[in-house]
Structure 1
Amino acid sequence: MMELLLARLRAAGFEAESVRPAPGGVVAAAGMARLRDGSQVFAKTLRTAAPDLFEIEAAGLRALRELGGVTTPEVLAVTPDLLVLEPLPPRREEDELFWEELALAVAGLHGGVVGERFGWHRDGWLGRLRQDNTWDGDGHAWFAQRRILRWLPEPLVEEVLDREERLALERLCAALPDLLPPAPPVLTHGDLWRENVLSGSAGGPALIDPAVSYSWAEADLSMLWCSPRPPAAGRFFEVYAATAPLPDGWQERMRIYHLRELLSSIAHDDNTRECAEEVREIIAPF
């Protein structure tokens, strides 16, 4: 795939001499390309056809930067099969100040861009599967239909969750108005976990790989709360809440919001057994 990425960079006008593979990447093959003048760019190409994936990713990066004031990599080129970005250094994983700066940036994003409806003007992607962003004025109905129940027809989810478990998810969704407090739709990154955090050129935090929509702030936070994070990030939520106060009980709500990510992981065949067990724990009362 690096040979294909190199060829597509050259076809797009980049004088690329070599490409070093980047770790991870479920959907795209990615790497750091060295150009003839000695500079570098970060580039991705598709493993499978998804003609608008890179266009949507680039638009999401621009929205976070231009509307939300968040640092994101500059988009250098985008085509149906190629995305070229400004290269960014790794996140300062063990630097407490870095994670506090991230908390302030995310609080600013959520507090600074408030919408009138939940959704986005176009559907997006979460991994290699579509993210349904159809507009809705009712946050509970939108989250139930577009972020939880949307995953039930996926073949791997149908295979893993039995009929009673699927009914329990539906009952949980019906109870969302009693489980989650009403909150306004705010601009969210949509896939906010540690691997989508890097450092910007000035050293502060930068965000990559968004799945943007107007959603609940707490739904965005659930990704960081429920996925592994380094000890240095221990004050992230305290610093966030000092800027954008969180309603009481927010810690207990995080796992409900995280159902979207768990179901998506099952649908992508990613850590399926553990994710399924966690889903079963969350839906057990229902």
Structure 2
Amino acid sequence: MSHEEILADRLREAGYPAEEVKRAVGGVVAIAGLVTLQDGTELFAKTLLGPDRDVFPVESTGLSELRTLGGANTPDVLCASPRLLVLEKMQPRRDDEQFWEKLAHMLAALHMSTVSDRFGWHRDGWLGRLRQDNTWETDGHAFFGERRILRWLPEPLVEAAFDREERQALERLCAALPELVPPQPPCLTHGDLWQENIVATSDGAPVLIDPAVSYNWPEVDLSMLWCSPRPAAAERFFAAYQEIAPLQEGWEERMPLLHLRELLSTIAHDDDDWGAAEAVRKIITPFRRSGASPGKPHSLPEADS
């Protein structure tokens, strides 16, 4: 049975008689597609192979909180079960400066309106196929170090990618986080904000999809956009964001460090065909024992914009 047939069967089981399913491209975890029902209604749906998990209920809750707590645009959720997620159909985004400026204003408003005193979330989530530990924590450096970086070291593919010295360098980097990241309060973050998770409404307004939400440093969301491939017009995003929510000095240099979680996740998901492991090695270079100078503050490699 093809993936399109599997998705169509699960839609019918849930009461959505699918006339046509066109498989969507870009995702690496779910079987996703644009669906036309027998009455002509168009929807977006996705399903997972393997045992039932709570991926879609968690995603649905994340979308709801981004909208209700932070005012972000998210798709209406029509069905969310362990086997199926059905959303209203969105449109491809328009990559011009006006779109990215609107996105910056929306994200800045989300971050500024959801400031909290704790890092984490009320339930664990998912990043791709793997669990995201959202246990509450009041110390942001401990939260990011333990639950966003070191959490990946036991994953088999990450263990295979790095030797003992490199893993120790990652541990030293986490211990040095208070020197590297200035204190900042947590806020509700999307958590997986690369360009493929940004679409649009029919009138061109930005919409967020596929979140991995938690209360975290706002710069973590920015790091995904900064360090992932993006169109030239997206440069307007960073200036527009700071017009509403100014960032602390040195934010550009912190972007690769905060992107470490995504790099390690990429390796853990067996998607390291574009150099994620080498990018990690570059970031941890100052924390290798052979290059460390006792008593000298750590510094990070220059950020690539």
Give the shorter-chain TM-score range: over 0.9
Tell me the amino acid that sits aligned with residue 255 of structure 1. P
Residues 42 and 254 of structure 1: CA distance in aligned 2, closer, same or farther (over 3 Å): same
Matched residue, 2:10: 8
Task: Map 1:159-198 onto structure 2 (within 5 A).
Answer: 159-198=160-199
Task: Tell me the percent identity.
Answer: 65
Matched residue, 1:60: 62
Residues 273 and 156 of structure 1: CA distance in aligned 2, closer, same or farther (over 3 Å): farther
**Structure-2 separation of matches of 1:131 and 1:75:** 22
| Contact persistence 1:187–1:212 (CA under 8 A) | yes
Q: How many residues align?
A: 285
Residues 24 and 242 of structure 1: CA distance in aligned 2, closer, same or farther (over 3 Å): same
Deviates more, 1:22-31 or 1:160-169: 22-31
Matched residue, 2:257: 256
**Structure-1 separation of matches of 2:22 and 2:159:** 38
- Provide the TM-score with structure 2 as the length reference: 0.92
**Structure-1 separation of matches of 2:52 and 2:212:** 15
Matched residue, 2:85: 83
| Contact persistence 1:26–1:128 (CA under 8 A) | no
Matched residue, 1:219: 220
Matched residue, 1:97: 98
| Contact persistence 1:27–1:47 (CA under 8 A) | no
In structure 2, list runs of 5 or more residues that go unmatched: 288-305
Task: Map 1:1-286 onto structure 2 (within 5 A).
Answer: 1-93=3-95, 95-272=96-273, 274-286=275-287
SS in structure 2 opposite 1:178?
helix
Using the TM superposition, give the Cα deviation of residue 271 of structure 1 relative to its aligned residue in structure 2, in angstroms: 2.3
**Structure-2 separation of matches of 1:167 and 1:134:** 24
**Structure-2 separation of matches of 1:3 and 1:187:** 37
| Contact persistence 1:109–1:187 (CA under 8 A) | yes
Using the TM superposition, give the Cα deviation of residue 167 of structure 1 relative to its aligned residue in structure 2, in angstroms: 0.1
CA-to-aligned-CA distance 1:229-264 (integer Å, 9 cap, x gap) = 101111110000110000010000001000000000
Using the TM superposition, give the Cα deviation of residue 148 of structure 1 relative to its aligned residue in structure 2, in angstroms: 0.2
Tell me the amino acid that sits aligned with residue 72 of structure 1. T
- Provide the TM-score with structure 1 as the length reference: 0.98
Deviates more, 1:107-116 or 1:271-280: 271-280
Using the TM superposition, give the Cα deviation of residue 17 of structure 1 relative to its aligned residue in structure 2, in angstroms: 0.8
| Contact persistence 2:114–2:187 (CA under 8 A) | yes
SS in structure 2 opposite 1:142?
helix
**Structure-2 separation of matches of 1:233 and 1:195:** 13
In structure 1, list runs of 5 or more residues that go unmatched: none
SS in structure 1 opposite 2:80?
strand
Using the TM superposition, give the Cα deviation of residue 47 of structure 1 relative to its aligned residue in structure 2, in angstroms: 2.1
| Contact persistence 1:156–1:269 (CA under 8 A) | yes
SS in structure 2 opposite 1:271?
coil
Using the TM superposition, give the Cα deviation of residue 4 of structure 1 relative to its aligned residue in structure 2, in angstroms: 0.8
Using the TM superposition, give the Cα deviation of residue 15 of structure 1 relative to its aligned residue in structure 2, in angstroms: 1.9
Tell me the amino acid that sits aligned with residue 6 of structure 1. A
| Contact persistence 1:27–1:48 (CA under 8 A) | no
